[in-house]
Amino acid sequence: MIPYKKILIPTDGSNDTRAAITFALGMGKITGAEVTAMCVNDVSNYAIPWDATAPETDSPHFKSCEKATQTVVDLGAQMGVEVTPLVVTGIPLREIIDASKNYDLIVMGTAGRAGVSLMLLGSVAQKVVRFASCPVLVIRGDQPGGLACHRILIPTDGTYITRAAITHGLEMARAFNAEVTVLSVATVRSIPISLGGNDEQFTPEYCQMAVGSVADQGRRLGIVVKPVVVTGAVANEIIRASAGEDLLVMGTNGRTGFEYLRLGSVAEKTVRHARCPVLVVRAPETMLPKI
């Protein structure tokens, strides 16, 4: 079954988080998970003067956080889901990552914008994907709300980096009786830009074996899996295939430096541009980088 017993929903009260909130509450209702709505009282906001003699809980920023979490509590009540509100003071990125140690899944929204705006407004979600201790489900603000998991896409390269994501994706498919497409991308460049492993491995024949292995796993679980192999740039092909899907489940690692740029950037580029929600699952064998 889906291993999500404790779900965290970071929110700032903006419209960009609405779709994520609705999705997370729907999942909480189906799985019976404990749901927490968290808003971070961002200390950097206090560069704007306010009455410093007043208690922190009386500050406009703190009250705004209380309102944001209460909105999730009220929506949860309408859906029959109990939600625990949590307001903490600190830096949003650090607080969310620190809290991730206590949860099985983070569901968060990000801006559905392009260019510089996306880089600025989506940066927290992208860094949470990179550093969180648990899987992270990212839903852009311009994507439909509600819980829909009829079609699931699982990219794989046949390496350990995607194993955990495959397990999560197949369990999601079994829980929601969803159709699954497993995708592997044969690379054509000389520089390794795949999800993991060495570039010479990613021939069409190797990719056929990778998707065939997932199809075999699906059959053992009673899930019909459609294997697809294409040739091209990994992130671009995954993004293209995400059109028409309800959920994309993919793996990533926890490396830094060149290894991160080579292996981790595919997941982040996909999160920014995929045409459906993206669930990112870190390979358990990788070490979490420091922030």
Each residue's pLDDT tens digit, 19-65: 899 999 998 998 899 999 999 998 876 655 555 444 467 788 899 99
C-alpha to C-alpha distances, 179 to 133, 143, 167, 238, nearest whole angstrom:
28, 20, 15, 17
**pLDDT at residue 178, as a whole number:** 93
The end-to-end CA distance of the chain, in Å, is 32
- In 91-150 the beta strands, taken as DSSP E runs, fall at 105-110, 136-140
Question: Looking at residue 286, what is its pLDDT?
Answer: 52
pLDDT at 198: 43
- State the average pLDDT for the chain: 83
Check whether 18 has a pLDDT greater than 60. Answer: yes
Q: pLDDT (tens digit, 9 = 90+) per residue, 214-271?
A: 999 999 999 999 999 999 989 999 999 999 899 999 998 755 544 444 445 788 888 8
**Integer Cα distance of 68 and 140 in angstroms:** 18
Instruction: Decide: 187 and 159 in contact? Cβ < 8 Å.
Output: no
Query: In the chain, pLDDT over 70 holds for what percent of residues?
Result: 78
Average pLDDT over residues 173-179: 90
User: Which of these, 160, 159, 94, 152, lies nearest to 128 by C-alpha position?
Assistant: 94
* Cα angle for residues 60, 64, 70 (degrees, 5° grid): 145
Average pLDDT over residues 137-152: 78
* Structure confidence at residue 249 (pLDDT): 96
What is the structure's pLDDT at 49?
53
Alpha-carbon span 269 to 219, nearest angstrom? 31
